Amino acid sequence: MQFDVGDMVRLIAFKRYQSPVVDSDTLHDIWLPSENFYRVLSDWREAFERQWAAKSKPVRS
């Protein structure tokens, strides 16, 4: 989960195994400056788009 709070972003993550119940031992959060968070997100998207474009796509007939 992601929450924008002022100039910070709070990320909350957890693992769910076979049960729909969250394993509380895996529940963690982190606060990041929003500028850092959105820069990483933007860099990731640009890298993904470059890789996607570089892949050869099958030609539909």
The predicted pLDDT at position 42 comes to 97
Domain boundaries, the chain: 2-54
On whether the pTM is more than 0.75, the answer is no
4 Cβ neighbours under 8 A, 6+ residues apart:
34
pLDDT (tens digit per residue) in 5-58: 999 999 999 988 888 888 889 999 999 999 999 999 999 999 999 998 888 666
Q: Are 11 and 2 spatial neighbours (Cβ–Cβ below 8 Å)? A: yes
The predicted pLDDT at position 23 comes to 82
